[in-house]
Amino acid sequence: MTKPLPRRILFVDDEPAMTQLGKVVLERAGHSCSLATNGDEALRMLLEVPPDLVILDYMMPGMSGPEVFRHLRNDPPYAAIRDIPVLMLTAKSDNDTERRDLLESGLAAYLSKPFGHRELLNIIENTLITWEVQKQARQTLENTRGAYLGAIQVTLEAIAQNPYLKENTGLLQNCALALAHEYRMDPQETETLRLAAMLHDIGKVKLSDELINFSGRLDSVQVAEIRNHVEYGVAILQKIPQLQDVAALVACHHERIDGTGYPKGLTAEEIPLGARILAVIDAFEAMTSGRPYRSAMTKEEAIDHLRLESGTHFDADVVEYFIESLERSFSQG
Ligand SMILES: [Fe+2]
């Protein structure tokens, strides 16, 4: 599972005696070791030849070890290597609260000075093994997620064989991501909204072909059955434990701000923000994509319609944020 020696290690400490000693110990153990004497030099070397592990002294003149660590974790130039495991060398006098914060932000471990050769080599080996295990766990999670999203996509494509049910899921997802950004949603909320945008009408798979393809005027029984697609969709999604948040949004995507929506007749903020967003982007997608029974509106006509129903059908703030994000994407071509 672990990579064979030698590992490339970057040792950063302002005390030459410490780095020289570290280099001898590490190289004798089969690793290759680069040295930096300050934070700026370390950050430059990290980009030049990314190491497998970094050892950072906590207290250094100029940029401290924690500052170097935060640059590595947060700054865009280091995005591809921000997960490199980092060990920090500390003295007893260092700040305990900051030490805890650093561990919470992903620092691999501390090693208190003074330490023995064996102690240094053991902590390096343990850190690298743990890092490999975590990397494989992340990869497994990513593969699993990819598999279930693939299954969802296949299901949606099967549904889209019927031109009455066909939706532009790419447009819906892009609109969802744009509004998640406007509302500064965190990654989890953003993903929930994106999946809800993909899946909000999945309950239509339970409607009969006869009803889906019906081209005349619907009677009240047929309207009620079509409206049932919300509850059918929620029932499907609730079977998947990871999609409970998505189901909660899908449950409310036909609610209206003025309380005249369905299935519950919720009003205003009784409707979750994500569902208020879904209502707007679903309407926009439906208006701008043609269906067998009507032609597509232009974007401008669809925007006029959203504004007309802003505050009654749709959340007025969501409508304005949505129009702003659309106009930005128009102006960017
Ligand atoms: Fe729907």
Q: Is the dihedral of CA 119, 121, 123, 125 positive or negative?
A: negative
Backbone angles phi, psi at 11, to 5 degrees: -110, 120
Burial 3-38 (b: 16+ CB within 10 A, else e): eeeebebbbbbeeeebbeebbebbeebebebbbbbb
pLDDT tens digits, one per residue of 279-308: 999 999 989 987 766 788 899 999 999 999
Distance 229 CA to ligand 1 centre (A): 7
Number of structural domains in the chain: 2
**pLDDT digit string (tens) for 102-148?**
888 889 999 888 888 899 999 999 999 888 888 888 888 888 877 87
* CA 243 / ligand 1 centre spacing (Å): 17
Same domain, 79 and 166: no
Q: Say which CATH number the domain at 102 has.
A: 3.40.50.2300
Q: What is the pTM of this model?
A: 0.62
Structural domain includes residue 250: yes
Ligand 1 center to residue 255 CA distance, Å? 10
Boundary residue ending a domain (103, 137, 171): 137
Q: Is the residue at 151 inside a domain? A: no
The alpha carbon of 252 and the centre of ligand 1 are apart by a number of angstroms equal to: 9
Q: What is the pLDDT of residue 160?
A: 66
Residue 301 CA, ligand 1 centroid: distance in Å: 21
CA of 200 to the centre of ligand 1 (A): 6
Question: What tens digit of pLDDT does each residue of 95-105 get?
Answer: 778 788 888 88
pLDDT of amino acid 149: 77
Computed over every residue of the chain, the mean pLDDT equals 88
Contacting residues for 307 by C-beta, under 8 A, at least 6 apart: 319, 323
**Amino acid sitting at position 328:** R
C-beta separation of 246 from 261 below 8 A: no
Q: What is the side-by-side order of every strand in the sheet holding 86-90? A: 32-36, 8-12, 53-57, 86-90, 109-112
Q: Give me the residue label for tokens 């590595």.
A: 72
Q: Do residues 241 and 296 share a domain?
A: yes
Residue 167 alpha carbon to ligand 1 centre in Å: 11
> What is the extent of the structural domain holding 64?
8-137
- Residue 203 CA to ligand 1 center (angstroms) comes to 8
For ligand 1, the distance from its centroid to the CA atom of residue 211, given in whole angstroms, is 15
CA angle 119, 123, 127 (to 5 degrees): 175
Ligand 1 center to 307 CA (angstroms)? 20
Q: Which SS3 state, helix, strand or coil, does residue 145 take? A: helix
Q: Tell me if 29 is assigned to some domain.
A: yes
Q: Which helix (H) or strand (E) holds 138?
A: helix 117-159
Q: What is the pLDDT of residues 249-271, one digit of tens each?
A: 999 999 999 999 999 999 999 99
User: Residue 4 Cα, ligand 1 centroid: separation in angstroms?
Assistant: 54
Asked if the model's pLDDT at residue 4 lies above 60, the reply is no
